[in-house]
Amino acid sequence: MSTTSVATVDPKAFKSFAEFYPFYLSEHSNRTCRRLHFVGSTLALVCLAALVASGNPWWFLAGLVCGYGFAWIGHFGFEKNKPASFKRPLYSFMGDWVMYKDIWTGRIPF
Residue 95 lies in a domain: yes
Three-state secondary structure of the chain: CCCCCCCCCCHHHCCCHHHHHHHHHHCCCCHHHHHHHHHHHHHHHHHHHHHHHHCCCHHHHHHHHHHHHHHHHHHHHHHCCCCHHHCCHHHHHHHHHHHHHHHHCCCCCC
Residue 35 lies in a domain: yes
Q: What is the pLDDT of residue 30?
A: 96
pLDDT tens figures, 36-84: 999 999 999 999 999 999 999 999 999 999 999 999 999 999 999 988 8
Domain count, the chain: 1
Average pLDDT (83-106) is 94
Average pLDDT (23-43) is 97
Q: Which domain holds residue 94?
A: 16-104
Residue 68 lies in a domain: yes
More confident residue, 93 or 83: 93
Residue 8 lies in a domain: no
Residue 4 lies in a domain: no
Summary mean pLDDT of the chain:
91
The pLDDT confidence band at residue 2, using thresholds 50, 70 and 90, is: very low
Q: Among 33, 42, 43, 44, which residue's Cα sits nearest to residue 108?
A: 33
